[in-house]
């Protein structure tokens, strides 16, 4: 204000665009650079939002496909379900006895694949050991170290992003009781049945205990727990989805008929 | 600031336009490949794990 009364005689204002550029006061120079920096900061923030919500998904899908490729190159070739049993229609799940489970020390890198038909026909995501940002931000689903393995008595606990970085559990709230969640490892296919979701605060580590929410109890069920953030686009809470093992098939018996196509696609894609 | 950079670039107008587009693209690429992944680990909104892993 004080400055404008000093130099703004009416006639000097007429030719302002040109003169303003030549005779900039230090204050004007600072204001211009500051303004340009602020605009740049705004653009960079918008770019960051775009990167987080859009680019991380593309980046993560590429890395997940590579992880699937790696996984399928290590497991025995996928055999189609036995035609005799497949022709019998959706009969009761066959009984292959107690599930074979992976030893804890073999939970290294990408050790499994999860199929959830409710999330879309072709939904197949690698499962990788660890829940650090290196795993969750790149490879989709991460396995909480120290929790159970697929098919084991106890709690096989996985974490995944709801939004960004592949948004592998974006649709977690659409699961309905009775939905099947299939886990494939090098030993076989484990079919879990979704039971319920629960929304908890982020510090509730007891939901991944062998008996969820009861850390001292002895496990009697074979549980699969998925954790993700809640609400969507936020992280004030966590959404937890519990499923219980229904059946399992050894790898040699072929995938459950319901997901045979998905498995073939995931394996062929890789 | 940007005006000064533009005037400081060498060559005729078309060359300076191309050079400034390349500078902008290089800045965006550097942000996407190095800066954003680093900043992202401090973003509490994408935390989907429970407890303190």
B50–A233 C-beta distance less than 8 A: no
Could you give the number of structural domains in chain A? Answer: 1
Q: With respect to residue A4, please indicate whether it lies within any of the assigned structural domains.
A: no
The DSSP call for residue A149 is -
Residue of B nearest to A158 (CA): B49
Q: What is the pLDDT of residue A84?
A: 47
Q: With respect to residue A17, please indicate whether it lies within any of the assigned structural domains.
A: no
Q: With respect to residue A94, please indicate whether it lies within any of the assigned structural domains.
A: yes
Q: Please state, in angstroms and rounded to a whole number, the distance separating the CA atoms of residues A148 and A155.
A: 5
| ipTM for the predicted complex | 0.87
Backbone angles phi, psi at A252, to 5 degrees: -70, -25
A55–B32 C-beta distance less than 8 A: yes
Q: What is the pLDDT of residue A141?
A: 94
Q: Please state, in angstroms and rounded to a whole number, the distance separating the CA atoms of residues A96 and A250.
A: 7
Average pLDDT, rounded, for chain A = 85
Q: With respect to residue A28, please indicate whether it lies within any of the assigned structural domains.
A: no
Distance from CA of A40 to the nearest CA of B (A): 10
Q: With respect to residue A12, please indicate whether it lies within any of the assigned structural domains.
A: no
- Nearest by Cα to A208 from A141, A118, A146: A146
A36–B53 C-beta distance less than 8 A: no
Q: What is the pLDDT of residue A22?
A: 65
pLDDT tens figures, B4-33: 899 999 989 999 999 999 999 999 999 999
Give the domain extent around A123.
Answer: 53-266
Among A165, A205, A227, beta carbon nearest to B46: A165
Residues of A with CB below 8 A from B36's CB?
Answer: 47-48, 51-52
All residues at 6 or more sequence positions from A57 whose CB lies less than 8 Å from its CB, including other chains: A164, A165, A166, A167
Among A132, A163, A205, beta carbon nearest to B50: A205
Question: How far lies A125's CA from each of A139, A160, A204, A258, in Å?
Answer: 8, 10, 25, 17
Distance from CA of B39 to the nearest CA of A (A): 9
Distance from CA of B12 to the nearest CA of A (A): 21
Q: What is the pLDDT of residue A88?
A: 45
pLDDT tens figures, A121-172: 889 999 999 998 889 989 989 999 999 999 999 999 999 999 888 899 999 9
Residue pair A64/A58 in contact (Cβ under 8 Å)? The answer is: no
Distance from CA of A194 to the nearest CA of B (A): 20
Q: What is the pLDDT of residue A181?
A: 96
Among B1, B41, B44, beta carbon nearest to A36: B1
Q: Please state, in angstroms and rounded to a whole number, the distance separating the CA atoms of residues A160 and A139.
A: 9
All residues at 6 or more sequence positions from A189 whose CB lies less than 8 Å from its CB, including other chains: A182, A183, A248, A249, A251, A255, A256, A259
Strand ranges (E), A22-140 = 110-115, 124-129
Q: Which of A173, A229, A230, A234 should one mutate to test binding to chain B, selecting the residue with the greatest count of B CBs within 10 A?
A: A229
Q: What is the pLDDT of residue A1?
A: 43
pTM of the model: 0.81
B31–A44 C-beta distance less than 8 A: yes
Interface of B with A (CB under 8 A): 1-2, 28, 31-32, 36-37, 39-41, 43-53
B39–A205 C-beta distance less than 8 A: no
Q: With respect to residue A9, please indicate whether it lies within any of the assigned structural domains.
A: no
Q: Which of A31, A41, A59, A133 should one mutate to test binding to chain B, selecting the residue with the greatest count of B CBs within 10 A?
A: A133
Q: What is the pLDDT of residue A93?
A: 57
Residues of A with CB below 8 A from B46's CB?
Answer: 52, 137, 161, 163-165, 229, 235
Question: Which residues of chain A carry a pLDDT beneath 70?
Answer: 1-22, 77-94, 269-270
Q: With respect to residue A13, please indicate whether it lies within any of the assigned structural domains.
A: no
Q: With respect to residue A87, please indicate whether it lies within any of the assigned structural domains.
A: yes
CATH number of the domain enclosing A259: 2.40.260.10
């Amino acid at each position: 204000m004080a400055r404008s009364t000093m130099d703004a005689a009416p006639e000097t204002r007429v030719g302002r665009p040109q003169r303003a550029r030549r005779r900039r006061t230090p204050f004007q120079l600072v204001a211009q650079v500051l303004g340009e920096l602020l605009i740049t900061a705004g653009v960079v923030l918008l770019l960051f939002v775009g990167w987080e919500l859009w680019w991380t998904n593309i980046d993560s899908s590429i890395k997940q496909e590579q992880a699937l490729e790696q996984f399928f190159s290590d497991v025995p070739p996928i055999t189609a379900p036995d035609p005799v049993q497949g022709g019998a229609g959706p009969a009761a799940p066959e009984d292959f006895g107690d599930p074979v489970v992976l030893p804890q020390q073999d939970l290294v890198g990408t050790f499994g694949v999860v199929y959830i038909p409710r999330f879309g026909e072709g939904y197949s995501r690698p499962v990788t050991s660890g829940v650090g940002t290196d795993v969750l931000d790149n490879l989709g689903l991460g396995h909480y170290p120290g929790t159970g393995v697929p098919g084991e008595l106890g709690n096989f606990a996985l974490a995944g992003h709801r939004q960004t970085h592949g948004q592998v559990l974006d649709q977690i709230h659409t699961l309905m009781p009775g939905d099947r969640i299939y886990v494939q490892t090098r030993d076989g296919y484990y079919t879990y049945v979704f039971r319920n979701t629960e929304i908890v605060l982020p510090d509730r580590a007891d939901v991944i205990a062998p008996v969820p929410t009861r850390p001292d109890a002895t496990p009697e069920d074979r549980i699969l727990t998925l954790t993700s953030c809640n609400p969507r686009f936020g992280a004030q809470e966590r959404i937890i989805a519990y499923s219980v093992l229904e059946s399992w098939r050894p790898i040699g018996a072929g995938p459950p008929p319901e997901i045979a196509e998905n498995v073939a696609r995931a394996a062929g894609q890789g | 600031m940007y005006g000064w950079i533009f005037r400081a670039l060498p060559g005729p107008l078309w060359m300076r336009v191309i050079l400034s587009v390349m500078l902008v693209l290089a800045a965006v690429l550097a942000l996407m490949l190095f800066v954003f992944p680093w900043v992202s680990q401090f973003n509490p909104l994408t935390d989907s794990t429970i407890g303190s892993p």
